[in-house]
Amino acid sequence: MITTAARLGNVEEYYFSKKLREIAEMNAKGMKILNLGVGSPDGKPDDSVVEKLSEESQKNSSHGYQSYKGIPQLREAFADWYARFFKVILNPETEILPLIGSKEGIFHISMTYLEEGDEVLVPNPGYPTYASASKLAGATIRSYDLTEDTNWLPDLKVLEAQDLSKVKLMWVNYPNMPSGKNASRELFQELTAFAKRNELVICNDNPYGFILNDEPISLLEDGLNDHVIELNSLSKSHNMAGWRMGMVAASKLHIDNTLRFKSNVDSGMFLPIQHAAIEALKLGQNWYDGVNENYRERRTLAWEIMDLLGCDYDQNQVGMFVWAKVSDTIENVEVWIDEVLAEAKVFITPGFIFGSNGERYIRISLCSNQEVFKEAISRIQNFKTS
């Protein structure tokens, strides 16, 4: 019998991979499910971005293998983007590495630095890929709590009272998913100091910085050092999720080390997408304002759904989701969410998939148009009265 590699261990198929297959089967039966679960932007990139992709795709020279580091113009565009919006100065030659999506970067960083015997601090609740990538790298997961009581922030005093001698990497994600908690400069300064004191690396996953957030900030604002890494992406900020365009910003040491792994995994990214990404990175504040106008209208409707479901939520959340606590009258959130799916034909993400601290929560994505939200409201009203 052919067995899987031991490294797979208890790593399971991604929740949304399974759930979207289930929803597709329900739709095939004519159920017309409204999906308010997945954070995949439903809009398109700016016209200039799409036009640049088409233009570059017509060239004979556009279809060969590309540099593992991305073309210089793309790295320069990322550097300019960080300078304009985050006030962070990066050397495009040595401190930026374009990625085929930032999810790839989570895996690359994990495989570059983690091995058996290492420990990694992973937020609970948090993006499941932090834990799965760490497990695939052979490391031991050390979950740290994010709760309403701590305002969805890590309690560094609690962590520092523990033995951190085997911890090599700590994943943070601000603006936070799923809680919607925004970052602060004070938080990033405290995290950097914590990393230096304990000889570990903080990696901030920062794809939501521009969504319903008036002031994007970066972990790197106080300068680069060997204790900080930041991932970013055009998936959410520029409606380019399927294009797979991200980046990692870090010291030369981390860029060089990550490239050693990455260059053995892929063969560079499609050149026209790189040129299109350059166009996207040139866009000004008007682009982000337009994106957020849509999300702001949808968020009001998502709040209405949460009210109908009897949930509590913080209206100061940022990002493209609404995170809410379920009423104490609901015994089992997973069963309840499946009832909403089966009877109202509306899919809402249960919070348990992000960790045990999410078990009493649900999450609604803002990546559907207003008509879908209004129909979802109508269906849930009927579900509540049936």
Please, what are the domains in the chain?
6-44+286-385 (3.90.1150.10), 47-284 (3.40.640.10)
AA letter at 45: P
Phi, psi of 363 (to 5 degrees): -135, 135
**Can you give the pLDDT at residue 100?**
95
CA distance 373 to 291: 17
DSSP label of 249: E
Can you tell me which residue has the tokens 């999720």?
241
**Can you give the pLDDT at residue 22?**
85
Per residue in 216-254, is it b (16+ CB within 10 Å) or e — as a string?
bbbbbeeebeebbbbbbbbbbbbbbbebbbbbbbbbeeb
**Can you give the pLDDT at residue 54?**
98
**Can you give the pLDDT at residue 386?**
62
Q: Is the pTM of this model over 0.85?
A: yes
- One-character DSSP codes across 211-245: SS-SS---TTTT---TTEEEEEESTTTTT-GGG--
Calculate the alpha carbon distances from 49 to 100, 275, 281, 290 in Å.
17, 8, 9, 16
**Can you give the pLDDT at residue 13?**
73
For residue 323, the cross-strand partners are 363
CA distance 135 to 11: 7
Both tokens of residue 287? 């682009």
The list of the chain residues with pLDDT below 50 reads: none
AA letter at 81: W
- Of 182, 208, 211, the C-alpha closest to 294 is 211
Cβ contacts of 365 within 8 Å, gap of 6 or more: 36, 37, 38, 39, 40, 320, 321, 349
Can you tell me which residue has the tokens 């004519």?
30
